[in-house]
Structure 1
Amino acid sequence: MSVTRAVQPALEPKVGRRTAATKYAHPALLLVGIVLVALNMRACLAAVSPMVVEIQRTFGLSATASGLITTVPVLFQGVGAPLTPRLTRRFGTERVVLGAVLALGAGVLLRVLPSVAALYAGCVVIGVAIAVLNVSMPGLVKREFPQKAAAMTGVYSTTMLVGATMAAALSVPLEHALGGGWQASLGAWSVLALVAAVAWLPQVLKARQERTVAVKVPAQAAPAALSKEAGTSPWKSGLAWQISVFMGISSLLVYTLVAWMPTILADHGMPRGEAGLVFAFSNLVQVAGAFLVPLLAGRMTRQRGLALVMAALNGAGVLWLLLAPVSGAWFSATVLGLAQGGSLGLGLAFIVLRTDSVLGAARLGGMSQAVGYLVAAAGPVGAGALHQLTGGWDATLLVLLVLAAVAAVAGWGAGRNRTV
């Protein structure tokens, strides 16, 4: 293989880049594929929450073991994220996305087999598959929509939350409609993964044809470009660490409150039915934040103020939950929904705004999401342990307040007009 061909993937965003209109049969097919893939990326996680009690009863699991059903996928999102840039360089982003979607569907089916081992093995497969998609999709968006990367990130992050909301709302009705218990309800989400895989297949086929056409790069420029790309490591960048900390703490706040917010409200006297409605409303509001914040970020040279606003809203929502958990529940749900959805969108926007190449976006995505999800996995478990130790929720909420302040500091650094 010539040096020109060897460095082609690394240089594609900068030299001889093909537009989405020429690379794909039709840009609408790419957009449909992105939306359908994004719908899957949170749906299978959100679908399991209403089913945890039934799963626990089926297998006779303890409360701790039941908690692992939601914690294991988050943990393995962090473990799998650093592997993705290597996969995309070797196989191409299109094939990696297709493989991850198919693996996600397989993990969903594995999770519903009549075995505890299969249950947790399915959770591992789901976590790794989502990790691969988490890292590869921002780079793909950056490559195919370079002038509208932030706006497309808003569409992508919003679609993920729509999928989560849809799955949480439909899990119980699906159980009744299909008549197969929690296994049928959770297994049905493999169909959505199959639909996404079919919709994505034209991109894989077209990319295979395009790989036969070499992008022309001057031979004398190739070694220097290759050296530059190979020597870039986000793990040695302070900016990359600030982005990772911002994403990690933001994710920790989300997953902690996803796990415990309804319980916090119920423990303070709110009826469980109303607590569930408050929580569902908060998830719905996240959609607005996830869509609007990346759009705003893309119009700004620096996003420092936006990051501070997101951290402040997170802090305000947690503080109100601490001071007035029942009377202020709907206010807290609104503020936290905007903050959590907006922080997700802003974190993903940082990946495309703070890098100048597809490979750089993949590497930063791998690092930030590895750190982010490993930190996030500790949130629900740590919050539960602190609650058990203190007998209440005040200490947990105070810790979340402190972490929101840390996120503000990290976001201030991440919002600088620099690239990794």
Structure 2
Amino acid sequence: MSVTRAVQPALEPKVGRRTAATKYAHPVLLLVGIVLVALNMRACLAAVSPMVVEIQRTFGLSATASGLITTVPVLFQGVGAPLTPRLTRRFGTERVVLGAVLALGAGVLLRVLPSVTALYAGCVVIGVAIAVLNVSMPGLVKREFPQKAAAMTGVYSTTMLVGATMAAALSVPLEHALGGGWQASLGAWSVLALVAAVAWLPQVLKARQERTVAVAVKVPTQAAPAALSKEAGTSPWKSGLAWQISVFMGISSLLVYTLVAWMPTILADHGMPRGEAGLVFAFSNLVQVAGAFLVPLLAGRMTRQRGLALVMAALNGAGVLWLLLAPVSGAWFSATVLGLAQGGSLGLGLAFIVLRTDSVLGAARLGGMSQAVGYLVAAAGPVGAGALHQLTGGWDATLLVLLVLAAVAAVAGWGAGRNRTV
């Protein structure tokens, strides 16, 4: 590694950030870019849930195989997450984000081709692309908004859930409006990815200008060892705190993705009309927005977040319990409680990444680890729920397992909420 590259992260706050490079990327453009990228990160997954039954009929899939439509992207989010810090160091965060958004759009289109192979291949591409964005974005937010990282994490996580809500609510209407079945409805979300990619281009131009300015600055050679030492750092994989954060994120994500995959089906199997089940699911996603925005703000004002983590786990447990006891009559109540819990858990998990690290590189490494572990755990949710349903003929066993996991999340969140850094 050259001396200039070794110290470049240290130079970033001083060089080009608010000078020549700002003519390429006004802070408003940065915020717009972040929002549009975040809108894509859940939309293409949430859009699938109301379409699962139709996809199942088209290809003759079993309940377990249908669960893989949601599981495969989640699994590959876990597989792709550890690779992202290396990609961002090699190519720069801005270019990596642009490539990931374009890949996401391509995966959305691949998924709707008339082939089971293409369906699952598209899910793989989508999963890897989201993994890269999941790990890149918290570090970018920490770097660009160092004094408001927790608040901006709330904006970022809220926007992700707004995208999911839009997708859940619009999937069936888009199917009717476009007249092309589930393929047209799901494929339409590639347009949102293209819009985000165009909006992100100013950030790539800004980063190129900053690199040019940084190369022009003469750096003393004695600065290199300190920079290299800081870059080497301590691996989060050896930290108990990092593992607690990872388990909290993993179980929280498992609860989210299991219900993203199956909540409308659970309600429909208990007699609720399919259209109403989709509305309940969309409402739950809408309520997540409030949790995702408010919880990171609260977390940023606390030195410890143990109580907050316990509340999120308790709300998850209460929502699942009510879904078990009164799936139809209590559907709207369950949707409200689960929405608050799931949105808040997502926001808190992302806030842990910026609050439990003291550098951009540390945030990237913790993000890579926690999201690798987290999404590998979460991947078991949708397919496991489908398999349990197929084995037992009902949803009670699945919901009981989710209750137990909510208790495990409470224990992990209690440890993750300590006032320490990884």
TM-score bin (small chain): over 0.9
From the superposition, tell whether residues 43 and 143 of structure 1 become closer, same or farther in structure 2 (CA, over 3 Å).
same
Stretch deviating more after TM superposition (142-151 or 312-321):
312-321
Task: Give the TM-score, by structure 1 length.
Answer: 0.93
Q: Which of 227-236 and 198-207 deviates more?
A: 227-236
Deviations 1:323-357 (A, max 9, x none): 33333332222111100000001101111111111
8 Å Cα contact 2:49-2:262 kept in structure 1 = no
Tell me, in whole angstroms, the C-alpha distance in 1 between the residues paired with 2:20 and 2:264: 44
Aligned to 1:211, the other structure's residue is in SS state helix
Q: Following the alignment from structure 2 to structure 1, what is the Cα–Cα distance between the partners of residues 109 and 244?
A: 37
Greater CA drift, 280-289 or 264-273: 264-273
Relative to structure 1, the CA distance from residue 315 to residue 40 in structure 2 (aligned partners, 3 Å threshold; closer, same or farther) is same
For residues 42-83 of structure 1, give each alpha carbon's deviation from its aligned partner in whole angstroms, at most 9, with x where no partner exists: 111112222233333333333333322222111111111111
Q: Deviations over 1:258-278 (max 9, x none)?
A: 223333334444444443332
- The answer to whether the Cα contact below 8 Å between 2:168 and 2:281 also exists between their aligned partners in 1 is no
Residue 391 (structure 1) shift: 3.9
Q: What is the CA-CA distance between 1:119 and the residue it aligns to?
A: 1.8
TM-score, with length taken from structure 2: 0.93
Task: State whether residues 165 and 283 of structure 2, in contact with CA within 8 Å, keep that contact through their aligned partners in structure 1.
Answer: no
CA shift in 2, pair 1:78/1:209, >3 Å: same
Query: Shift in Å at residue 229 of structure 1?
Result: 2.4
Distance 1:294 1:70 in 2: 26
> Are 2:16 and 2:209, in contact at CA under 8 Å, matched by a contact in 1?
no
8 Å CA contact 2:141–2:153 kept in 1: the answer is yes
Kindly state the Cα deviation for residue 16 of structure 1 after the two structures are TM-superposed.
10
Cα pair distance change 1:286/1:215, threshold 3 Å: farther
- In the alignment, the residues of structure 2 paired with residue 261 and residue 201 of structure 1 have an alpha-carbon distance, to the nearest angstrom, of 37
Instruction: List runs of 5+ in structure 1 lacking aligned partners.
Output: none
Give the superposition deviation at 1:204: 0.2
**Mean Cα deviation higher: 234-243 or 393-402:** 393-402
Q: For residue 196 of structure 1, report the CA deviation from its aligned partner.
A: 0.7
Provide Cα deviations, 1:302-326, integer angstroms capped at 9, x if missing partner. Answer: 1111111111111121222233333
Q: Is contact 1:103-1:129 (8 Å) kept?
A: yes
Identical residues among aligned pairs (%)? 99
Whole-Å separation in 2 of the counterparts to 1:29 and 1:123: 30
User: Could you say if the C-alpha distance between residues 369 and 24 of structure 1 is closer, same or farther in structure 2, counting changes exceeding 3 Å?
Assistant: farther
Change (3 A) 1:278 1:172: closer
Name the stretch that deviates more: 170-179 or 25-34: 170-179
The CA distance in 2 between the partners of 1:66 and 1:127, in whole Å, is 16
Structure 1 residue 360: Cα displacement = 0.9
- SS of the residue corresponding to residue 200 of structure 2 reads helix
Change (3 A) 1:236 1:389: same
Query: Could you list the per-position Cα deviations for residues 189-211 of structure 1 after superposition, in whole angstroms to 9, with x for gaps in the alignment?
Result: 11111111111001101110110
> How many Å separate the matches in 2 of 1:186 and 1:271?
21
* Distance change in 2, residues 1:195/1:262 (3 Å): closer
Separation in 1, partners of 2:201, 2:302: 35
1:20–1:145 CA contact under 8 A, matched in 2: no
Residue 214 and residue 225 in structure 1: after superposition, are their counterparts in 2 closer, same or farther (change >3 A)? same
Residue 3 (structure 1) shift: 1.9
Q: Which digits, 9 at most, give the CA deviation of each residue in 1:177-224, with x for residues without a partner?
A: 223332222222111111111110011011101101466765334313
Paired with 2:396 and 2:19, the residues of 1 have a C-alpha distance of: 53
CA change 1:357–1:20 in 2 (3 A) is farther
The total of aligned residue pairs comes to 420
Flag structure 2 segments of 5+ consecutive residues without an equivalent.
Answer: none
Residues 259, 348 of structure 1: alpha-carbon distance in 2 compared, 3 angstrom cutoff: same
Q: Distance in 2 between matches of 1:198 and 1:17?
A: 21
Please say if residues 4 and 218 of structure 1, whose CA atoms lie closer than 8 Å, have aligned partners that are also in contact: no
Contact 1:75 1:377 in 2 (8 A): yes
* 2:324 and 2:396 in contact (8 A); partners too: yes
| Deviations, residues 141-162 of structure 1 (Å, cap 9, x unaligned) | 0000011111111111111111
Closer/same/farther in 2, CA of residues 55 and 316 from structure 1, 3 Å limit: closer
RMSD: 2.4
Cα 1:113–1:201, aligned 2, differ >3 Å: closer, same or farther? same
When residues 349 and 243 of structure 1 are mapped into structure 2, their CA distance, relative to the original with a 3 A threshold, is same
Distance 2:362 2:216 in 1: 21
Deviates more, 1:245-254 or 1:111-120: 111-120
Assess if the C-alpha contact under 8 Å between 2:49 and 2:264 holds in 1. no
